[in-house]
Amino acid sequence: MTKKLIQQDIVSQAEALRKREISSEELVKTYLIELWEKNNEIGAFLSVSEESALAEARASDRRRAEGKSLGILDGIPFAAKDNLCAKNLPTTCGSRMLEGYFPPYDATAIEKLTAAGSILLGKTNLDEFGMGSSTECSAFHPTRNPYDLARTAGGSSGGSAAAVAASMAAYALGSDTGGSVRQPAAFCGLFGMKPTYGRVSRYGLVAFGSSLEQVGVLSRSLSDNAVVLSAISGYDPRDATTVRRDVPDFLSQIEKGIAGLRIGVLPEDALGELSGAVSDALARTVAECERLGARIVPASLPSLSLAAEAYYLISSAEASAELARFDGVRYGRRAEGASDIEELYKKSRSEGLGREVKRRLLLGTFALSEGYYDAYYGRARTLAARLGEEMRELLRACDLLLLPTTPSVAHPLGDKHRIDDPTVSYREDRLTVLANLTGLPALSFPVGRDENGLPIGLQLMADAFCEELLYRGAHVLANTNQKEAEE
């Protein structure tokens, strides 16, 4: 019974806890057993803190017994991507550079969840420093898709996605710089939310592209996603880019349906090449929108065709500055046998950083260097600004934008095509980077499976701080596994 419970959503689990049908300790133990059974195969977790998780579970049970429950998340276990700082576990960012690094503080998002009684089970695998789309760039091992172990769970938050999809945690935190929460969510049949830039504090998120990224939520159900987003949102004096805005009830609109809403859809040639499954899913969902009374509005984003290129220039440039702090001097891996500081820097970084990270740091450094700034970084920023204007105009004519999350379903691990030419993966991000370049919120939601049983995800985007609208749309359009099973 408990085994089935861990596959259900937070509301069901919280209800079971409240009714004393199960204790938090039992719940956590069940998750841990599932974890031990599956993690070797799937490789979702890099570290697990079972002792402290059980201790916290017992504390949660005590609170509940005294009638002092902290709310719906009290006693519910979650996983966090290993680029979010947490004190009692290493934060490796999937890199040899930070192997064994223990931060002295918790990320705000994690702090808020633990203050609500939620229990951190462990840290999940990612592409090194968030740079990658499959976890194959993790310094440790790739994460496998629970739906097909020969395929990727996506990236860079692949570990978080696999953990939730395989019921090794109730929900998970990830980070989304160019799609790193939404793409793995789509590959693993989950809901993946990238909130509006400034909605959630980035304090404690090891940065990669500061102007682009947000902490995001991966969950099995839509209401789970909203509950967690509520818990982690809000102004943080430790992050100057968070906004002073009240955190609304993100579920306040979900019963309203989409009748009367204007839903923008981009022309096929603007989306680039899509696999048959994704293309069909999109078409079906558009039809469903119309059936439910929404108005389909043809939309256009002329600058979308260069979005991926702009994203990679901007994010790599910011990363080249952001990752320069990993030099082996104060923390992290310090190379042996260096004779002076220059050599120490070179050896430590050469040894500690992986290939993809190096590639992007070189690209970013070049784009910022004297004489090239205007041609590359400058132009990329101009393009991003233009995309922002185009989106603002689009969102005057539409309430929501509907588009695929990814051009295809999860691809096989070790795909030579992608390994030989990194730009193949880069271009596949073109549909997700839009939200990062413009700062707008985006939600990937599951819409069924392809003929091989692999999950397909689509995306909704809305105006800034309109996450309720995203949940409202996804509520009626999503086809979760449960729904599929019922059919």
Partner 1 sequence: MNEYEIVIGIEVHAELSTRTKIFCACGVAFGAPQNSLCCPVCMGLPGARPVLNRRAVELGVRAGLATNCRISPISSFDRKNYFYPDLPKAYQITQFREPLCRDGFLDIEVEGERRRIGITEIHLEEDAGKLIHGANGETRIDFNRCGVPLIEIVSAPDLRSAEEAVAFLKKLRSILRFAGVSECRMNEGALRADVNLSVRRRGEETLGTRTEMKNLNSFTYAAYAIEAEAKRQIEALEAGEKILQETRRFDETNRTTHSLRSKENAHDYRYLPEPDLPPILLSEDEIQTIRESLPPLPDQRREAYIREWGLSDYDAALLSSERERAEFFEEAARGTPFRKILANLLLGEAARLGGGEDFMCPISPKNLAELANLWGEERINSNTAKKLLGELWNTDESPEAVARARGWERSNDRELLREVVRNNLKENPHAVADYQRGKKAAAKDLIGKTMAASGGRANPKILQELVLELLENETIQND
What phi and psi, each to the nearest 5 degrees, are found at residue 428? -70, -10
SS (H, E, C) 388-443: HHHHHHHHHHCCEEEEECCCCCCCECCCHHHHHCHHHHHHHCCCCHHHHHHCCCEE
Residue 67 interacts with partner 1 (CB under 8 A): yes or no: no
d(CA 469, CA 289): 14
Minimum CB distance to partner 1 smaller for 143 or for 320: 320
In whole angstroms, give the CA distance from residue 269 to residue 157.
Answer: 29
Among 10, 172, 200, 206, binds partner 1 (CB under 8 A): 206
| Active-site residue flag, 68 | no
465 touches partner 1 by CB under 8 A: no
Convert residues 106-145 into a mask of x (bound to partner 1 by CB under 8 A) and - (unbound).
Answer: -x--------------------------------------
Binder of partner 1 out of 31, 171, 377, 445 (CB under 8 A): 377
User: Which of residues 79, 227, 368, 387 is near partner 1 by CB under 8 A?
Assistant: 368
* Residue 362 binds partner 1, judged by CB under 8 A: no
Q: How many chain residues bind partner 1 (CB under 8 A)?
A: 44
Q: How many whole angstroms from its chain centre is CA 127?
A: 12
In terms of CB distance, is 48 or 86 closer to partner 1? 86
Residue 345 vs 426, nearer CB to partner 1: 345
202 is a site residue for partner 1 (CB under 8 A): yes
When the beta carbons of 215 and 394 are compared against partner 1, the nearer one is: 215
Secondary structure class of 486 (helix, strand, coil): helix
Sole window of 58-66, 118-126, 199-207, 432-440 interacting with partner 1 (rule: CB under 8 A): 199-207
If one counts every other C-beta atom within 10 angstroms of the C-beta of residue 68, the result is: 10
Q: Per rule CB under 8 A, is residue 204 in the interface with partner 1?
A: yes
Q: Is 118 a catalytic residue?
A: no
DSSP-assigned letter for residue 234: S
Q: Quick one: which of 254, 253, 236 has its CA closest to 245?
A: 236
Residue closer to partner 1, measured from CB, 238 or 392: 238
User: Is 341 one of the binding residues for partner 1 (CB under 8 A)?
Assistant: yes
Whether 81 sits among the annotated catalytic residues: the reply is yes
Find the binding residues for partner 1 in span 291-320 (CB under 8 A): 317-318, 320
Query: From CA 81, how far away is CA 275, in angstroms rounded?
Result: 29
- The answer to whether 118 and 231 have CB atoms below 8 angstroms apart is yes
Residue 235 lies near partner 1 (rule: CB under 8 A)? no
How does DSSP classify residue 195?
Answer: P
At 63, give phi and psi (nearest 5°): -60, -45
d(CA 444, CA 189): 9
Euclidean distance between CA atoms 470 and 259, whole angstroms: 14
Establish if 94 lies at the interface with partner 1 (CB under 8 A).
no
100 binds partner 1 (CB under 8 A): no
Whether residue 199 contacts residue 441, with contact meaning beta carbons closer than 8 Å, is answered with yes
Residue of 180, 230, 316, 444 marked catalytic: 180
Q: Is the separation of the CB atoms in 227 and 254 below 8 Å?
A: no
Span of 153-161, 198-206, 353-361, 474-482 interacting with partner 1 by CB under 8 A: 198-206
Q: Is 331 in the site for partner 1 (CB under 8 A)?
A: yes
Residue 146 burial class via C-beta count within 10 angstroms: exposed 0-12, middle 13-18, buried 19 and up: buried
Query: Quick one: which of 10, 42, 84, 299 contacts partner 1 (CB under 8 A)?
Result: 84
- Under the binding rule (CB under 8 A), the answer on residue 93 touching partner 1 is yes
Which range, of 133-141, 153-161, 233-241, 258-266, touches partner 1 by CB under 8 A?
233-241
Q: Which stretch binds partner 1 (CB under 8 A): 81-89, 182-190, 298-306, 460-468?
A: 81-89
| DSSP notation for 307-371 | HHHHHHHHHHHHHHHHGGG-SSSSSS---SS-SSHHHHHHHHHHHHS-HHHHHHHHHHHHHHSTT
N- to C-terminal Cα separation, the chain: 23
Q: Using CB under 8 A, which of 54, 365, 388, 415 touches partner 1?
A: 365
Q: Which of 156, 233, 408, 444 is catalytic?
A: 156
Q: Is 324 in the site for partner 1 (CB under 8 A)?
A: yes
**Angle between helix 24-42 and 10-18 (nearest 10):** 150
Is residue 382 near partner 1 by the rule CB under 8 A?
no
- Please give the positions annotated as active site: 81, 156, 180
Please report, as ranges, the residues that interact with partner 1 according to CB under 8 A.
83-85, 91, 93, 98, 101, 103-105, 107, 202-207, 209-211, 237-241, 317-318, 320-321, 324-327, 329-331, 341, 345, 365, 368-370, 373, 377
